[in-house]
Amino acid sequence: MSTSTSSQQQPQDIITQVSPHQQDSFNTTTTTHTTGTDDQSDVGGGGDYNSIIHLNIRGKEFTITRDDLMSLPESILLCLFPNGVFLDVNGNVINNLTEDDIVYVNFDPQTFQYIINTFYQAQQDLIQMSTNTTNLTPVTSHNNENILETKPAIIVLREDLDFYVIPPFERLNSEQMKQLKLGVSIQLLKNKLIFSGLGYKFEDDEDENEDEDGNTHDDKSSKGLGPAEQHLFDMLCSSGFEVKDKWGCRSLEPNKCVVSSLSLVRLKTNPPPGETPPDSPSLDPVTSQSSTTTGGGGGGNGRSRSRSRIAQLASSASRAASRSLSSKRNKPDNSTQTKLLLFWRKPARKCWWSHDWVTIEIDAPELFKSMKNVNSNRSDSNGKDNDNKMSVKVHIRRVWTLELSIIGVQ
């Protein structure tokens, strides 16, 4: 895929020009114009898979072949196209997509660049692996036990964090609340450690706001994790994640109290010998929004109503996987990989709530003055730190989506 972005920071509504000489990710195949009359409004429907698709992602333009686009994990495609269709600049469905059309996508462009760079590197590794074998045909069997040994695999972990700032006192105006939310978002963006959101308690020398990158393994007997969280933590750490790993991309959604994070980690095919494989984590299967709702944001209530039934299905799948592994206890290296196959093309979701006090620094003299007056009769200091800082209570809803993507499998 060839991509181009403007070298200067521009407003999100300005479309940057595509530079034909700049090439960043994915192999660009021979361009063929799509002239058929097949309905191509659906993201995965019809058309020449070698055709070029032009994407405008919040003002930054990318080009990608339909085949490369459809090879991305389902959980990512659902973020790019929540309704399962291509939209033009006015939000209308593009019924017959041609190479002259531009598809507009509401997604973070830096995250998209991170995605295509990661998958491009995995494709290059697949080509190198293929040169050592004589069989270059794609694998089509879903029951191939050695598929993770012969194909690169990427663990896709996404976090959608919604935060709700509790007003420190009554009668705050909209501008004051906006400043509070902005201050909270800045602090949340600073915390890039993946497992801090899961509840992992780091030691004092592993502060969640530290700047340096720590890639060494730490003691996995974490504190503060429940059984389900511990299983998920163990499985991820035995598959390629590090305890102190940070999100590959973390950004604030425009005009929303939502922080989106993504991490793409290559699956370790050979865990250390003797390491006991973790149990399967408790996650809920993810269903396409377009199949459950006609709106872009109305899928949440439907999923909540059927959550118990979905949880039962996920639990049954985990038990079935555990039973299938009972006869392979002498092969611990393959057990974790087999469990991860439960998430191949079947993304699963885990949702939970938490709350905390977040110390923010904002420039709002009148807000601090009101805060001082309110807190003057209080014995605690939860609402006030000093003249430049303030602590506010924040409720946080996190949704983790986990999926396994295997490169070169049709």
Each residue's pLDDT tens digit, 263-304? 999 998 765 455 555 555 566 666 544 444 434 444 444 444
Same domain, 161 and 52: no
Instruction: Return the pLDDT at 173.
Output: 86
Predicted confidence band of residue 150 (pLDDT cuts 50, 70, 90)? confident
In a domain, 212, yes or no: yes
Residues ≥6 apart with Cβ < 8 Å to 120: 1, 24, 25, 26, 27
Of the pLDDT bands very low, low, confident and very high (cuts 50, 70, 90), residue 93 is: very high
Are 50 and 178 within one domain?
Answer: no
Residue % of the chain over a pLDDT of 70:
58
Q: Establish if 67 belongs to a structural domain.
A: yes
What's the mean pLDDT in 55-59? 97
**Confidence at residue 25, expressed as pLDDT on a 0 to 100 scale:** 36
pTM higher than 0.85: no
Residue 356's DSSP bridge partners are 394
What is the total residue count of the chain? Answer: 410
The answer to whether residue 278 is domain-embedded is yes
Q: How far is CA 170 from CA 167, 173, 356, 367, in A?
A: 7, 9, 20, 12
What pLDDT is recorded for position 244? 94
Token pair listed for 85: 């269709």
* More confident of the two residues 133 and 147: 147
8 against 389, higher pLDDT: 389
pLDDT band at 60 (very low <50, low <70, confident <90, very high): very high
Spatial CB neighbours of 186, under 8 Å, sequence gap ≥ 6 = 360
Single residue among 79, 106, 133 that ends a domain in this structure: 106
**Hey, which residues does 313 pair with through a beta bridge?**
none
Distance CA 313, CA 195 (A): 26
Determine, yes or no, domain membership for 137. Answer: no
All residues at 6 or more sequence positions from 130 whose CB lies less than 8 Å from its CB, including other chains: 136
268 neighbors 240 (Cβ within 8 angstroms): yes
The domain boundary, picked from 85, 106, 127, lies at: 106
Q: How confident is the model at residue 331 (pLDDT cuts 50, 70, 90)?
A: very low
pLDDT value at 175 more than 60: yes
Give Cβ neighbours of residue 164 (< 8 Å, ≥ 6 apart). Answer: 257, 394, 395, 396, 397
Position 184 in a domain: yes
Domain residues for the domain of 52 are 1-106
Average pLDDT for 310-314:
46
**Contact yes or no for 116/24 (Cβ under 8 A):** yes
Do residues 90 and 187 share a domain? no
Instruction: Provide the token pair at 21.
Output: 């000489």
- Name the pLDDT band for 101 (thresholds 50, 70, 90): very high
Q: Are residues 255 and 375 in the same domain?
A: yes
For residues 57 and 156, membership in a common domain is answered with: no
Please say if the pLDDT value at position 206 is more than 50: no
Residues 92 and 157 in one domain: no
**226 in the same domain as 309:** yes
DSSP letter, residue 236: H
| Residue where one domain finishes, among candidates 49, 79, 106 | 106
pLDDT at residue 396, as a whole number:
98
- Domain co-membership, 164 together with 23: no
Residues 48, 159 share a domain: no
Together in a domain, 205 and 309:
yes
SS3 call for 409: strand
Q: Are residues 177 and 90 in the same domain?
A: no
**Residue 297 counted as domain residue:** no
Q: Could you tell me which residue, 50 or 176, shows the higher pLDDT?
A: 176
Nearest Cα to 107, choosing from 193, 12, 15?
A: 12
- pLDDT of res. 49: 64
- Backbone φ, ψ for residue 62 (5° rounding): -135, 155
pLDDT at 57 over 50: yes
Reported confidence tier of residue 68, pLDDT bands at 50, 70, 90: very high
| DSSP line for 308-363 | HHHHHHHHHHHHHHHHHHGGGTT-HHHHHHHHHGGGBT--EEEEEEEEEEEEEE--
Per-chain mean pLDDT for the chain: 74
Is pLDDT at 102 greater than 90 in this prediction? yes
Q: Answer whether residue 188 shows pLDDT above 60.
A: yes
**Domain assignment of residue 126, yes or no:** no
Residue 128 lies in a domain: no
Domain count, the chain: 2
Q: State the pLDDT at residue 335.
A: 72
Q: pLDDT-derived band of residue 408, with 50, 70 and 90 as boundaries?
A: confident
Same domain for 231 and 360, yes or no, is yes
Q: What is the mean pLDDT of residues 126-155?
A: 71
pLDDT at 64: 96
- pLDDT for res 265: 97
- Angle formed by the axes of helices 332-340 and 227-237, nearest 10°: 110
